[in-house]
Amino acid sequence: MTRALYLIKQKKYSRKGNTVKNTLQEIYDQFAATYDQSRGLFDMSEVLNSFYRALSVKKGRLLDMGCGAGEPFARFFIDHGWAVTGVDFSQQMLELAAKYVPEMQTIRADMREVEFAPDKFEAITAIYSLFHIPINDHAALFAKFYRWLCPQGKVLFTYATKEYTGSDEFDGYKEFMGQELYYSHKRPAALWDDLKDTGFNIESRDYRKIGGETFLWVTVSKPG
Ligand SMILES: C[S@@+](CC[C@H](N)C(=O)[O-])C[C@H]1O[C@@H](n2cnc3c(N)ncnc32)[C@H](O)[C@@H]1O
């Protein structure tokens, strides 16, 4: 049994929150080397281009939550003249980002704990990261996204659903690359309610199968 799996099994029955943060952080630190070898394997150009085309400005400031190695999203936006801020709690993933996307300003932190000024970003992305945040913290995080976005700004995020975990609602552990990772999601109908209650317009919601895994890709906008 690896140390990370041992830690998860020890802490699995305690309340989520800091426990989850610590173990996921360790796991992503360990994943960094594998991630490095498999980077660029999946074609994200369609999802990147469709989000970019939908934005009301073609240059601005992007916040990438759970940025990992900064590819392909941060890289794409920097190549299109954007200023990108990336937030991630894994030091090893941020070291990859420093190698591949050195132009990105990075903040090593739990995405639930960072703060920015209102109206600071024209776009926010949370790609393959929001599904690690406990559902009880989603509404507060969506409210922050809303506050930090300029009017007409947009958020693109991936959300886990039954198509990934096998359950309508999920709050638990699922195997990924030999490790047990924490995932959390509501039913899509409850997600739409959260987003509408926050004030967002839902612009698109598509199930996409990329790299053999299906997630819900959601774009929301802040009214202008
Ligand atoms: C599957 S990777 C995705 C990385 C990148 N967005 C991509 O598309 O390649 C998930 C990333 O989210 C980060 N992460 C997960 N939970 C986080 C949290 N609560 N705060 C900050 N980063 C988090 C992990 O460290 C990891 O780098």
136-191 per-position pLDDT tens digit: 999 999 999 999 999 999 999 999 999 999 999 999 999 888 889 999 999 999 99
Cα–Cα distances in angstroms (integers) from residue 31 to residues 87, 88, 93, 131, 164, in the given order:
17, 14, 8, 17, 20
Residue 152 CA to ligand 1 centre (angstroms): 26
CA gap 126, 95 in Å, rounded: 19
CA gap 78, 60 in Å, rounded: 10
Residue 202 CA to ligand 1 centre (angstroms): 23
Q: Return the CATH class of domain 3-153+163-198.
A: alpha beta
Ligand 1 near 74 CB (within 6 A): no
Rg of the chain taking only CA atoms, in angstroms: 17
Ligand 1 near 89 CB (within 6 A): yes
Is 16's pLDDT higher than 60?
Answer: no
Ligand 1 near 128 CB (within 6 A): yes
Each domain of the chain, given as residue ranges in start order, spans: 3-153+163-198
Is 63's pLDDT higher than 50?
Answer: yes
CA gap 192, 195 in Å, rounded: 5
| Among protein residues, the one whose CA lies closest to atom 20 of ligand 1 | 110
Residue 89 CA to ligand 1 centre (angstroms): 7
Across 9-23, 29-43, 148-162, least confident range? 9-23
State which ligand 1 atom lies nearest to the alpha carbon of 68.
27
Is 42's pLDDT higher than 90?
Answer: no
Q: Tell me the whole-structure pTM to 2 decimals.
A: 0.91
